[in-house]
């Protein structure tokens, strides 16, 4: 009799098989084997919110296979992922095998059912995990069940109300609605923002050496008569320039200090998503898909984590690599140990890191992984090794320049020792400067001494206007959610995907812009369900779920406390809320059938044009989204199209005369020229 091991995916199963040998048969559950029903409420509110789980139709065949294999297995090992979701999948499998749906079933369940947990798929980690199996952690299962039930209560009760009061086909979610509110409020901040004019005056100066200008540098005006200079318009700027043109310049003070820039901690889920977005342009969804494949093939540790902790062996491997391949000067005397700022971080977990520091990105070739996998792996590898390297040393010099009643200041810095920046990149140094709020122009200052006279080469007055807060992109949105304590690492990618799929927001130049639908849904929820979209309330609910996971509280009282007032609000809103009138966006075109205005509407598959007199006139037409590429068949414009199920593809504008279509985005003309 073989031992049966159940994991989630076939890829993970194949990787484990390499380490466990013929004594073990490894099967994939293909994710969850039970869930709440799609077409029914599935929560018994009258009996302490008991969930009513069913086996989805597409999982029944796989479940029957698992049951059959388990009936003849010597021992069953549940090796699902090391988080709440994985624990819940393991519990559901165990429950299905122990409690057959058919009372007459003669299913034989293995006497021993074990839970094994590992955070990396390497031979050592796998064998160690199988030496120390344990029971399913029901506290983690309870936390996952509580989240699932909460989301079902909110979604099942609120979504029909949105259909009735806003528009059919909408959905609401406990975390997605708060995320949408962030984007909507930021857009309204931008809309209300009024720019304020201000001026900055810079002086290009040089050492007083017979008019030579090779040692030129820039100093910025900051004070007059000991008070900060604030220049509001051109007239004021011209007055200062006139005075400065007559002044004599000399160095009044030089300040030098050493700056130490320390490496960032290793990646957790949220920081990986943020940096992959900023550096590689990957969406959170894409980043997690790539990371999942890297984990399942054994190249990185588990990618859903909020802990920056590293195992002693991992730290030792990084330090050994640094000493051998980068240089002893880049190795600090003492290993760096990082602590998570989040009170809910699970320190037993590790940060995201390579499982073998000797394997670089090029080592992934021929493993069924593409260039995107390689680029993400390189990012993880560099962050991991860099986190154990010496700090960078910079010499910063600040030069105060006096000109009559004015004080100007120039700041420059040079890297004396690269440290971790040698591996991780100079852009990391620039990012840390901005985060620290330093006004460092990175200019190289000449060798100066106090009281040195200076030449004025030119004065440069520049007009500026204050700018509104920037729209959120994926990185900044995830960072904000993390700061507020909303959602958890595994939820960010699906949250963003949901609000995009529902057309609550659009993405333009990688920034999120709410649609009229997003504004309407947010306003409705704020008015009638203020706690659902309240940042503090949502964060408190996440804390409650964490307490459930730690076994500090039971999940039923938390759900009960939430549900009673929530259900009352739903009833009141159903009676008192009026139907929301959506703002109509004019398309700037006339209807070809009746001559009235065409308007932009949002349907199941996104935006389309419709006659403003609908349903009197039923004319509709697609909105063509063009991309910078030409059809390879007839040279026509390539446009974005959608299948009946909403899947995106790319086709020639001259369809149906030209039949060109592609699932992948054609390369732009510029890219093609560059490549040639």
330 CB-side CA count, 13 A? 23
| DSSP codes, 202-246 | EEEEEE-STT--TT-EEEEEEEETTEE--B-SHHHHHHHHHHHHH
* Whole-number Å distance between alpha carbons of 7 and 404: 76
* Whole-number Å distance between alpha carbons of 301 and 269: 11
Sign of torsion over alpha carbons 338, 342, 348, 349: negative
* Whole-number Å distance between alpha carbons of 306 and 573: 38
Which entry of 77, 264, 302, 472 is annotated as an active-site residue?
302
* Whole-number Å distance between alpha carbons of 384 and 424: 10
For residues 308 and 264, the answer to whether their CB atoms sit within 8 Å is no
Name the DSSP class of 178.
Answer: H
* Whole-number Å distance between alpha carbons of 70 and 111: 10
Other beta carbons within 10 angstroms of residue 3's beta carbon come to 18
* Whole-number Å distance between alpha carbons of 300 and 125: 12
Please report which helix (H) or strand (E) contains residue 608, including its range: strand 606-611
Which candidate, 483, 190, 520, 162, places its Cα nearest to that of 341?
A: 483
For residues 384 and 266, the answer to whether their CB atoms sit within 8 Å is yes
Torsion-angle region of 42 (φ positive above 0: left; ψ -120 to 50: alpha; else: beta)? left
Torsion-angle region of 588 (φ positive above 0: left; ψ -120 to 50: alpha; else: beta)? left
For residues 420 and 392, the answer to whether their CB atoms sit within 8 Å is yes
Q: How wide is the angle at C-alpha 13 spanned by C-alphas 11 and 14, nearest 5°?
A: 70
Known catalytic membership, residue 321? no
> What is the gyration radius of the CA atoms in the chain, in angstroms?
31
Buried b (16+ CB within 10 A) or exposed e, 601-612: bbeeebbbbbbb
Which candidate, 369, 199, 398, places its Cα nearest to that of 294?
A: 369
As a dihedral over the C-alpha atoms of residue 174, residue 178, residue 184, residue 187, rounded to 10 degrees, the angle is: -150
For residues 55 and 38, the answer to whether their CB atoms sit within 8 Å is no
68 contacts: CB under 8 Å, gap ≥ 6: none
State how far the alpha carbon of 377 is from the alpha carbons of 9, 13, 357, in Å.
20, 21, 11
What residues are annotated to the active site?
A: 302
């Amino acid at each position: 009799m073989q031992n049966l091991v159940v994991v989630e995916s076939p890829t993970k199963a194949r990787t484990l098989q390499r380490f466990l040998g013929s004594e073990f048969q490894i099967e994939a559950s293909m994710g969850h084997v039970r869930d709440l029903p799609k077409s029914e409420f599935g929560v018994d509110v009258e009996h302490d919110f008991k969930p009513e789980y069913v086996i989805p139709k597409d999982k029944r065949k796989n479940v029957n296979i698992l049951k059959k294999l388990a009936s003849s297995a010597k021992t069953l090992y549940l090796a699902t992922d090391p988080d709440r979701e994985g624990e819940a999948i393991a519990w559901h499998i165990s429950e299905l095998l122990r409690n057959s749906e058919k009372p007459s079933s003669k299913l034989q369940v293995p006497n021993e059912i074990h839970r094994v947990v590992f955070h990396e798929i390497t031979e050592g980690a796998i064998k160690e995990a199988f030496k120390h199996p344990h029971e399913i952690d029901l506290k983690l299962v309870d936390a996952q069940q509580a989240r699932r039930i909460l989301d079902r209560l909110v979604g099942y009760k609120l979504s029909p109300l949105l259909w009735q009061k806003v528009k059919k086909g909408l959905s609401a979610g406990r975390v997605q609605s708060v995320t949408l509110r962030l984007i909507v409020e930021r857009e309204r901040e931008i809309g209300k923002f009024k720019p304020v004019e201000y001026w900055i005056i810079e002086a290009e100066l040089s050492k007083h050496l017979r008019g030579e200008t090779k040692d030129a540098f820039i100093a910025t005006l900051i004070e007059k008569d000991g008070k900060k200079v604030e220049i509001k318009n051109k007239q004021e700027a011209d007055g200062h320039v006139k005075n400065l043109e007559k002044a004599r310049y000399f160095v009044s003070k030089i300040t030098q200090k050493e700056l130490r820039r320390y490496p960032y901690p290793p990646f957790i889920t949220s920081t990986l998503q943020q940096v992959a977005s900023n550096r590689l342009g990957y969406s959170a969804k894409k980043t997690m898909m790539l990371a999942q494949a890297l984990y399942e093939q054994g190249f990185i540790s588990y990618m859903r984590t909020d802990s920056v902790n590293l195992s002693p062996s991992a730290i030792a491997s990084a330090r050994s690599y640094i000493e051998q391949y980068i240089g002893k000067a880049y190795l600090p005397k003492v290993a760096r140990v990082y602590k998570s700022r989040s009170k809910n971080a699970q320190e037993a977990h590790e940060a995201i890191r390579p499982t073998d520091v000797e394997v670089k990105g090029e080592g992934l070739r021929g493993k069924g992984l593409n260039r995107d996998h390689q680029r993400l792996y390189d990012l993880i590898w560099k962050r991991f090794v860099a986190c154990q390297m010496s700090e960078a040393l910079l010499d910063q010099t600040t030069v105060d320049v006096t000109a009559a009643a004015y004080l100007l200041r120039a700041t420059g810095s040079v890297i004396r020792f690269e440290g971790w920046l040698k591996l991780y990149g100079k852009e990391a140094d620039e990012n840390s400067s901005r985060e620290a709020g330093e006004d460092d122009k990175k200019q190289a200052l000449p060798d100066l001494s106090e009281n040195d006279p200076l030449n004025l080469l030119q004065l440069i007055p520049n007009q500026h206007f204050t700018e509104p807060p920037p729209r959120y992109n994926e990185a900044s949105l995830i960072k904000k959610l993390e700061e507020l304590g909303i959602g958890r690492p595994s939820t960010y990618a699906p949250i963003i995907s949901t609000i995009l799929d529902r057309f609550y927001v659009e993405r333009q130049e990688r920034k999120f812009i709410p649609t009229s639908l997003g504004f309407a849904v947010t306003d409705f929820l704020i008015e009638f369900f203020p706690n659902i979209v309240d940042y503090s309330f949502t964060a408190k609910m996440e804390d409650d779920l964490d307490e459930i996971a730690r076994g500090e509280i039971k999940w039923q009282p938390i759900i009960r406390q939430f549900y009673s007032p929530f259900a009352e609000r739903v009833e009141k809103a159903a009676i008192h809320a009026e139907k929301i009138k959506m703002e109509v966006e004019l398309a700037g075109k006339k209807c070809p059938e009746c001559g009235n205005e065409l308007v932009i509407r949002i349907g199941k598959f996104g935006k389309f044009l419709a006659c403003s007199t609908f349903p009197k006139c039923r004319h509709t037409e697609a909105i063509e989204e063009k991309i910078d590429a030409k059809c390879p068949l007839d040279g026509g414009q390539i446009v974005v199209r959608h299948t009946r199920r909403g899947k995106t593809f790319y086709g020639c504008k001259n369809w149906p005369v030209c039949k060109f279509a592609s699932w992948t985005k054609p390369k732009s003309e510029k890219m093609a020229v560059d490549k040639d």
